[in-house]
Amino acid sequence: MNSPDTDSLPEQVRVSVIVPLYNVATFIETTIQSLLSQTLEGIEFILVDDGSTDGTYEAAMSFAEASPALRVVHQANGGPASARNQGLHLASGEFVCFIDSDDFMSNDALETMYNAAIDQDADLVMGKTVRFNSERQWDIALYEKHGVYNVGSKHIDSNPELLYAMGPCAKLYRRKIIENTYFPEHIRLGEDQPFVLHAYLNAKKIYTVDSTVYYYRAREGENRSLTQAAMSNPAEVFGDLFEMMRITNDQFAGHHKLHRLYLQRVMMVDILPRYRAALASRNRDVQQKVLSLMYEWSKSSNKDLFNDIPVIYSYIVVGTLYCMRYLRRQNFGTACKLLGISITKMSTRNYFFMAKSVLLELVAIARRRLWRLKKTAKGIVKSFLLKRVYFPLMKLIRPLDPHKVVFATNRSETLQGSLAKIERAITSDYPDWKVVSYPRLERTFTQMMAIYRELATARLIILDDYYAPLYGLKARGKTEVVQAWHASGAFKKFALSAVGTGDSNPLRFERAAHKSYTKVLTTSSSIIPQYMDAFGKHRNQVLPLGLPSNDDFFDAERIRSVKEAYLRDFPMLRNKKILLYAPTFRGSPKERVRFNLKLDLEKMKEALGDEYTLVLKLHPMVRKAVELKAGLSDFVLNLSSTSNINDLLMLSDILISDYSSVIFEYSLLRRPMVFFAYDLDKYLDERGFYYDYASFVPGPIVKTTEELIQTLVATELPLEPIDKFASYFFEHRDGQALQRFMTTFFDK
């Protein structure tokens, strides 16, 4: 524990700010800086580290050493409720404020709320919250809709809209209204609502300031918060939500109307979205669990109370009927039981309400489908105008710019990999060239016109993947369209060569997608035939120059600095051998968004935890988060949201993969590989390879976790096959691919 220098603190602590910390090393600096920048005097900051394993505690301590106002406490992992309760035990301020460790406050937030509390004699003061991510900020639509931020004095009885703002943050609590009140620690979702309800019900006066005081981070990729992640695992949170409702029942004694409004809010905001998400998942086990939980809750619920809130049963019925199309056959029985108990619990006077709700839902479904049809038709018209009218017109009336290069990608929101390297080289060495970049972004029709105008007049267009705006088009005669494909080598069949396999696109689509290319980069003359086949090009159109993105694997200083940066940010990696598990996606295009981890991580930790750390890097097309059990946090690090796979390859000591093309880049590092191909026979049928898999891969093949563990423990992984593999697939292993590209397309 770090204690502040009491001599440097004011005699009276006005506000105690409590911050629960858990594995937020990436965000903690922003949060702490916002605390230390507060303009109010007389604040103590209590940071409770809840068993972090990623260097969060160490980062917090480094700030505390320089600032006596920061007090850092470390405890075993117990969840956010436990951490906040620890902070409440330690708090000494006249007021208490909570902030989550990935969010931040405006510099004058505490001063604004504190002054309002004193001037208005308010027991609870709140201000506006804005959500943000790496790209933008936006208002919370639910709060705006219900007028939560309307400025002025309020009371929960006369302002029930406050029930929509149930988070503990962005509020200043007078200590006397929360004395001896704590967060329930046995639930992890909704644990804040009983606490906030208690404060609302005990506050004689609530005041809302006319100011944005709080910025709530919407985490992206695998770095999602507990609340955000719950939406992707709805079956696991229903128990917590029903327990939350049970806990709050006693708080509403004498507030019958308010209780009804609260239950309606919980059902519509917390439960029903997750209920529909669970049924729409098409996962048999998830559906069965959620249907059973909803049935048991409906069966045990108070009939009289919920008949006062007809929208609850109506939404259960409507939601279940709407999602019937997603249900697995085995779950129809449970769904019918739920519908039966919901209908029988309704009073006669509510049948009309339910029928009206069903009708309104059917009308809403029809409107949504009509909107989709209109949107599709509109998209077709726009595409026709841009591709068949505007692009040919621009080629006809606009002159070619002999010094213009266009970079275009649908892979990321900034140029990365080979495109980024080429763009920097042109900007540096050819200042007379006009460089235009179009990364993946939502664009208006007018902006798309600008893209097609640039494409029609550019001397050079460089891509790194499929690029929809060019589908079916042919550039003007003197324009080079270069496909600097993002993957090295030739492993799985792809593009045109994959047509007819289980997860492929139609032939017509693939032909249109690759029609515009005039040149294609590859890494070796030995695989030119495969690239000719994949993209439908002649031999002289496939250039074995190598990929500029691979030059980094020959830069020893960059490799060293990458590893140092990761070890600094994630101390759990220090003094361990780092295993990187980087599998490919599986299944049809619709099925790729889901991935079930077949490794038994508990067994791996037990056998390998003393010597190894496992880093996960799932394929970008896999969107479903892998939920890690709490006991694995000191062995497994999920870095799937990291955009630069090359950095993770440089970081690791051993690669575990299956059918991913990352094995080509990894071979340049001359490090061991193991192939966890548990579904090899199925994948062969689904996709197909250019080579015989068993004799092709440069490392042992395993099909179970036990075999993987045994291979890592008992086998010295050979490097000779990796050398042979790399020499075949990389004609040049010299780190000069960028130079060859520039010589080919510019120096001539």
Number of domains in the chain: 3
Distance CA 691, CA 673 (A): 18
What does residue 260 show for φ and ψ, rounded to 5 degrees?
Answer: -60, -45
| Domain of residue 470, CATH code | 3.40.50.11820
Mean pLDDT value across the chain: 87
Beta bridge partners of 214: 105, 129
- What is the phi/psi pair of residue 587, to 5°? 85, -175
- Angstrom CA distances, 392 to 398, 474, 665, 729, stand at 10, 9, 39, 39
pTM of structure: 0.58
- Domain membership of residue 300 (yes or no) is no
| 565 domain-assigned | yes
Mean pLDDT is lowest, of 217-221, 317-321, 506-510, for 217-221
Task: Find out whether 511 and 536 touch, Cβ atoms under 8 Å.
Answer: yes
Q: CB pairs under 8 A, 24+ apart, for 391-397? A: 391/452, 391/455, 391/456, 391/473, 394/452, 394/453, 394/456, 394/457, 395/456, 395/457, 395/476
Decide which of 546, 579, 611 is a domain's last residue. 546
- Number of Cβ within 10 Å of residue 220's Cβ equals 12
In a domain, 98, yes or no: yes
> Distance between CA atoms of 169 and 95, rounded to whole angstroms?
13
563: CATH: 3.40.50.12580
689 domain-assigned? yes
Sign of CA dihedral 125, 130, 131, 135: negative
Q: Which of 92-96, 320-324, 370-374 has the lowest mean pLDDT?
A: 320-324
Is residue 202 situated within a structural domain? Answer: yes
Between 92 and 355, the more confident residue is: 92
Residue 687: band (very low, low, confident or very high) from pLDDT cuts 50, 70, 90: low
Of 9-18, 325-334, 656-665, give the range with the top mean pLDDT.
Answer: 656-665
Contact 519, 543 (CB under 8 A): yes
Statement to judge: residues 687 and 710 lie in one domain? yes
Residues 578 and 463 in one domain: no
Looking at residue 540, what is its pLDDT? 96
pLDDT tens digits for range 280-306: 877 888 888 888 888 888 888 777 766
**Residue 437 CB partners (closer than 8 Å, separation 6+):** 406, 407, 408, 415, 423
Residue 613 belongs to what domain range? 551-729
Q: What is the pLDDT of residue 465?
A: 94
What does the pLDDT look like over 544-592, one tens digit per residue?
999 999 999 999 999 999 999 899 888 889 999 999 999 887 655 455 5
Q: Is 279 helix (H, G, I), strand (E, B) or coil?
A: helix
Residue 304 resides in a domain: no
What's the pLDDT band for 184 if we cut at 50, 70, 90?
A: very high
Q: What's the pLDDT score for residue 313?
A: 67
Q: Is residue 212 part of a domain?
A: yes
Domain match, 577 and 670 both: yes
